[in-house]
A and B are shown apart, each in its own frame.
Chain A
Amino acid sequence: MTLEFEKLTDSLEKMAHSAARRQQESDALLAAALTQLRRYAVSWERLERCLERAVAETNEKFFRAARPIAATEPLDQGIPAPDCPPEALLIASDGSQIMPDRHGEFLYYLINVGLIIYEHGYGRSPQTITYPTLGFPKPAPTTETEAVDEDAFVANSGAISVRRDMAEIGALADTVWEWRRGIQPLLAILDQRLLYWPIGSSGGADSQEAIQAWLAAMKKMQDAGCLLAGYIDRPGKSSVMTLLATLQIEESGFDLASLTEQRDWSGPNDADLYGRILQPGERSPVFIDISHHNRRFAEQDPALEVCFFYLNPGKGIARVDIPRWVAEQPAAVATTHGLLYDQCQILGDYPYVLTRADEIAVVGRREQEELEHRIALRMQDYGLAGSITGKQQAKNFARSDKTRHE
């Protein structure tokens, strides 16, 4: 044991004290926000007017808010889960990756996508499929986009994450397309936001390419006639909180900059707000995401604009992203809501199909060791011997008698 806990005693005390103070501040802000929400729950004209002014007068790049999609659902009301359709097809995907390890025996990365096809109401065992992809440095010259330089290959982890995201939605869209003439309704589910923006990539042409691929996959699912949802557990978005903040924009002395500082706000967020309102199974009204990212989605195709609602899945609050082609049809929203809540009830608070897609996708430590053993065997056929670095060797020795829990 090397962690000397007694040296952290003071820090632990300060940490708890700080958390308690932040909680007090957050509770006060949340109470104020709830009052606002109830007061203006159906003030559609004022909400729209203030929001329009905020959009016009703030820096679009930093402004994130929410607009109610219809003036029919009061903002402070939970909408109970409707009856679930007796039959439906649910397809969910998730992915995992093994990043390149500079200290490992051979340089490679692995992306593994897990996909589950679940025939709701039929009692049959679901189908599970995996799509593993192995990446490795290519010899020069190459026409591949793969990095030739080994340092660059190792440093490419952001791009690998983006490839994993593309593989997840690509596999989902392809499978939905194959099953489009089967059981209806068909709900495709991703374990992440629909308003995709590559994180960790260079932000250049690769990012644009990724966004286009993402939008193309969404479009393919729309063409397949399916419903689509991105499920986000414990969301951190504060778009509705910002919407409420805009209500003060007509007051003299209002600081416009405060609307764009929300993104750094560590106070209560939308989930905290709707956590006080929604009972198990209930959802919030549907909102359109107001952001420059979503504007780009809408410019590409209005049907791909991302909307969302909050859901109490039984414990905590989740956010469900849905495309506009689903959001503007009340029956489609109801079906999505009902099926997702039904899925959450299987395990208590999280969709069963996403739990299983994640389980299928995850590559455990033993599987990784087996893969590396097989890589080493194939390398031997070409007279290639790998070696781990001294650093990795020392780590292996030091950790050899410890159990890793997966």
Chain B
Amino acid sequence: MAPTSDIEIGRVLRASTTGFAIGCRVGQLSTPAFGSLVKAQPVDSRETIYGLIYNMNIDDDQLIRRLVMAESPRPEAINDQRANRMLPIEMSVLAVGYRRNGQLYQGLPPRPPLNLDPVFLCQDREEVTGFTGKLGYLRLLLRGGDRLPTDQLLVAHIRHVYQQRGHDAVWANRVVQELVELLRSNYDLLVPTLEALSDALPELTVET
């Protein structure tokens, strides 16, 4: 069961072992953000699958293109497009862990979620703290390849979790140390990541 504080942000459109795509309505877009921790929560006994949002895609069609070309789109038409027309907003999620029989695991899930499984934004502090307590999932993020904007995703995710954990500087510094360790042979990624992190969390003393 998802904690009552969790917010449903859409449903699974398609999935694989390494991640899944979520379709959501415009009204559901206000809470999820790039880097957020989310979970696909099956209604049956299958695993809850955790992931990080690494991309959001908003498709167009011919009607949207014509409206964009209009000098001043009417608010009625804009709201019609957003509320009535069936153009889902698509979010891509990198799978980073799962929960089975109440036990949390970091790593790829044994099987992907199914189409239309509901997906929730992880809001519950205890759950977020529990999942991010270990940092093994960062390896999956660093191995995501070219499809991921890795440095920006790391920074966005760390900033979210830092806040959700109650501005937990100890945790943030552990993450930095872990990144330094994992990226010691990849300065091209490490340096911009630490610089961006310093900008995003100026109150944090990044100790390298």
Q: Is the interface of B mostly helix, strand, loop or mixed?
A: helix
In the complex, A119 has a CB within 8 A of chain B: yes
A200 smallest CB distance to B (angstroms): 30
For the complex, what is the distance from the CA of A353 to the CA of B84, rounded to whole Å?
13
Known contacts A128-B84, A359-B63, A123 near B76 by CB under 8 Å: yes
- Which residues of B58-92 are within 8 A (CB) of A? 63, 66-67, 69-71, 73-77, 79-80, 82-85
For the complex, what is the distance from the CA of A348 to the CA of B73, rounded to whole Å?
11
Q: Is the interface of A mostly helix, strand, loop or mixed?
A: mixed
For the complex, what is the distance from the CA of A345 to the CA of B70, rounded to whole Å?
7
- Which residues of A360-381 are within 8 A (CB) of B? none
For the complex, what is the distance from the CA of A350 to the CA of B149, rounded to whole Å?
42
Q: What is A's interface to B at a CB cutoff of 8 Å?
A: 118-120, 122-126, 128, 345-348, 352, 355-356, 359
B82 (CB) vs chain A CBs: closest residue? A125
Indicate if the CB atoms of B83 and A125 lie closer than 8 Å: yes
A128 (CB) vs chain B CBs: closest residue? B84
Question: Please, could you name 18 A-B residue pairs with CB atoms under 8 Å apart, sorted by A?
Answer: A118-B80, A124-B76, A125-B84, A126-B76, A126-B79, A126-B80, A128-B80, A345-B71, A346-B67, A346-B70, A346-B74, A346-B77, A347-B66, A347-B67, A348-B69, A352-B77, A355-B63, A359-B85
Indicate if the CB atoms of A346 and B73 lie closer than 8 Å: yes
Enumerate chain B residues within 8 angstroms of A123, measured Cβ to Cβ: 75-76, 79
Interface size on B (CB < 8 Å)?
A: 17
B76 smallest CB distance to A (angstroms): 6
For the complex, what is the distance from the CA of A355 to the CA of B83, rounded to whole Å?
16
- How many residue pairs, one in A and one in B, have C-beta atoms under 8 Å apart? 43
For the complex, what is the distance from the CA of A126 to the CA of B80, rounded to whole Å?
6
B129 smallest CB distance to A (angstroms): 39
Q: Which of A118, A345, A347, A348 has the most CB of B within 10 A?
A: A347
A356 (CB) vs chain B CBs: closest residue? B80
A117 smallest CB distance to B (angstroms): 11
A2 smallest CB distance to B (angstroms): 29
Indicate if the CB atoms of A125 and B76 lie closer than 8 Å: yes
Indicate if the CB atoms of A348 and B83 lie closer than 8 Å: no
Indicate if the CB atoms of A124 and B77 lie closer than 8 Å: no
B59 smallest CB distance to A (angstroms): 16
For the complex, what is the distance from the CA of A122 to the CA of B74, rounded to whole Å?
10
Indicate if the CB atoms of A118 and B76 lie closer than 8 Å: yes
Indicate if the CB atoms of B70 and A126 lie closer than 8 Å: no
A349 (CB) vs chain B CBs: closest residue? B66
